[in-house]
Amino acid sequence: MPTVHLLDYVAGNVRSLVNAIEKVGYTVEWVRTPEEVAKADKLILPGVGHFGHCLSQLSSAGYLPAIQAHIDAGKPFMGICVGLQAIFEGSVEDPEVPGLSCIKGKLNRFDDTNKAVPHIGWNSANASSKSLYDLRPESKYYYVHSYKYPYIAGELEGQGWTVATGTYGGEVFVGAVAKGNIFATQFHPEKSGVAGLRVIRAFLNGEGARTLGQTVTGPAPTGGLTRRIIACLDVRTNDQGDLVVTKGDQYDVREKGEGNDVRNLGKPVELAKKYYEQGADEVTFLNITSFRDLPVADVPMLEILRRTSETVFVPLTIGGGIRDTVDTDGTKVSALEIATMYFKSGADKVSIGSDAVVAAEEYYASGRKLFGNTAIEQISRAYGNQAVVVSVDPKRIYVPKPDATRHNIIKTEFPSPSSGDEYCWYACTIKGGRETRDLDVVELVQAVEAMGAGEILLNCIDKDGTNSGFDLELIRQVKASVKIPVIASSGAGNPGHFEEVFDKTTTDAALGAGIFHREEYTVKQVKDHLADKGLEVRLFEG
Ligand code: 1PR
């Protein structure tokens, strides 16, 4: 099999990139020293996290002159995400750190006045009728970044570059760029389904470079960021010791009646693939019980991720048990080390639940000081904010009047059925809803945003498994409190509920579990419904 060389300098989910490269028929060889760069014919520079962190690592390991020599020799070079950013002169994210300067100009941050940042999700890479590594106007590609190169018509083209753009909240940015032997994408082709695999293939087989810039005809480009639909798999061992996808009603996952067994809705790897093929934009696994009697390195979720990432080319999130812990042999294992194992096994993001609540409580107890030692801070520092999701498990607490509590309250359209109280706040819980804390959801999300979380997965215990629709009041309250994206979760029972949450709130994504596991609707049916209603979605490309 033909070979491509990957630079092994940066932490993150390179397993998915390797899987994608193998999927299109190539093998990967690692470049582990600057000297080894010279043996590469085709070189890929993947990148996650902070511009400065990546570039400083490359620089201190002596890679930059070797990469420059590879490029100057006219050999194929591809940069992905921060790998695209690296070919620019610099970034306001880390102004002191120089880039490779193949392109003059600095990246800047998305404006978060009227939109969530990071920009997470499926967006276009529109090359305006020019051939650019098989990018297609009707396809969508997975982006996750806070910094971008702002597109100015003609600027890069005037220097011989072919450019594809995306638009987010009115800002047009460079989604991909190519000239000669250089090709770079701001999006993650290895996470962009079949559309992304095509791009990788075009780089590897040389067709992309050969046809670069030719005029192509095709359908008119579609708009910007799509509505993101996420399939969630709650995973745990059942009473027979098998790892199964389960689903609770308000977090109770046991069947009612005789036996009282853990509800078994299927096998995690198979279901993940099924939802990917139905068009799920992301798949989330939540390990809802921890596997305390196993060495951390053997937790079954690692194997589930490895196997899933071989066939599922959209982002994977893993949650459950991400906190500092003590291994079976007494060794301390940090949350960062656990997250690292998950990333190496194919996860793109980790989701933190209970530990985030405890960290937020400490944040307020210390007068909103940050010491850099929480799991959120450590993981986001190493892998970037976009890699850290905080999963929130709130429940409603009714109060008779606004000043009956110190917490952030709302006046609800759904008064308490028992007391008739018209005000409520949302209390955070830990340990899968078993313990309620004196911290409200607004306090939590603001604290974790300050710590560096990149996204909120907003469950709702009152709504979970009810099929009665999302808690719009909760979602509005949280969206109004933070700038980072929010995923609405809990309560989806039909496609209309997804339409409603996108119409009546500004949520960035919506998640369903039971609706898909019980086969009441497919992901495709949900998306078809949204498309019928005029909302932009990404459909699966076979
Ligand atoms: O606290 O960091 O170890 O993480 C544990 C994780 O496991 C948390 O993300 C927590 O939400 C989750 N979890 C714990 N116990 C349960 C349970 O169900 N007993 N599941 C649980 C949470 C909620 C959603 C669900 C939506 C959509 N599941 O993920 O998928 O509510 O459901 P629906 O569409 O069927 O209504 P830590």
pLDDT tens-digit profile of 148-199? 999 999 999 999 999 999 999 999 999 999 999 999 999 999 999 999 999 9
What confidence score (pLDDT) does residue 11 get?
Answer: 62
What percentage of residues in the chain have a pLDDT greater than 90?
A: 86
What confidence score (pLDDT) does residue 290 get?
Answer: 64
Helix axes 300-311, 335-344, angle to 10 degrees: 30
Query: Which amino acid residue places its CA nearest to atom 31 of ligand 1?
Result: 490
3-class secondary-structure state, position 101: coil
Q: Is the pLDDT of residue 406 over 80?
A: yes
**Which one of the listed residues 94, 134, 234, 473 is annotated catalytic?**
234
**Which one of the listed residues 54, 81, 102, 424 is annotated catalytic?**
81
What percentage of residues in the chain have a pLDDT greater than 70?
A: 99
Query: Which amino acid residue places its CA nearest to atom 14 of ligand 1?
Result: 432
Give me ligand 1 centre to Cα 393, in Å: 7
What confidence score (pLDDT) does residue 370 get?
Answer: 97
Catalytic, 188? Answer: yes
Mean pLDDT of 292-296: 72
Q: What is the dihedral of CA 158, 164, 168, 169, to 10 degrees?
A: 50
Lining residues, ligand 1, CB within 6 Å? 232, 234, 247-248, 251, 253, 286, 288, 319-322, 351-355, 391, 393, 432, 459, 464-465, 489-492, 512-515
Taking only Cα atoms into account, the Rg of the chain, rounded to an integer number of angstroms, comes to 23
Give me ligand 1 centre to Cα 527, in Å: 23
Q: Is the peptide bond before 2 cis (omega within 30 degrees of 0)?
A: no
Mean pLDDT of 13-37: 94
Nearest to 306 by CA among 269, 351, 340, 281: 269
Mean pLDDT of 287-316: 86
What are the pLDDT digits (tens) for 213-265?
A: 999 987 877 779 999 999 999 999 888 888 899 999 999 999 887 788 889 99
> With 0-12 CB in 10 A as exposed, 13-18 as middle and 19+ as buried, what is 370?
middle
Q: Is the pLDDT of residue 136 over 70?
A: yes
Catalytic, 471? Answer: no
Give me ligand 1 centre to Cα 352, in Å: 11
What confidence score (pLDDT) does residue 257 get?
Answer: 78
Give me ligand 1 centre to Cα 236, in Å: 11
Q: Is the pLDDT of residue 78 over 60?
A: yes
Cα distance between the two ends of the chain: 24
Question: Which stretches within 46-149 are classed as H helix?
Answer: 51-60, 63-72, 82-85
Q: Is the pLDDT of residue 273 over 70?
A: yes
Least confident interval from 38-42, 219-223, 493-497: 219-223
Q: Which atom of ligand 1 is nearest to the CA of 287?
A: 7
What are the pLDDT digits (tens) for 451-468?
A: 999 999 999 999 999 999
Query: Which amino acid residue places its CA nearest to atom 27 of ligand 1?
Result: 490
User: Which residue among 235, 288, 390 is best mutated to probe the pocket of ligand 1, counting the most ligand atoms within 8 A of its Cβ?
Assistant: 288
Give me ligand 1 centre to Cα 286, in Å: 6
CA angle 521, 523, 525 (to 5 degrees): 60
Q: Which atom of ligand 1 is nearest to the CA of 467?
A: 36
Give me ligand 1 centre to Cα 445, in Å: 17
Catalytic, 94? Answer: no
**Which one of the listed residues 94, 281, 348, 393 is annotated catalytic?**
393
ipTM over 0.95 threshold = yes
Query: Which amino acid residue places its CA nearest to atom 10 of ligand 1?
Result: 432
Catalytic, 190? Answer: yes
Catalytic, 355? Answer: no
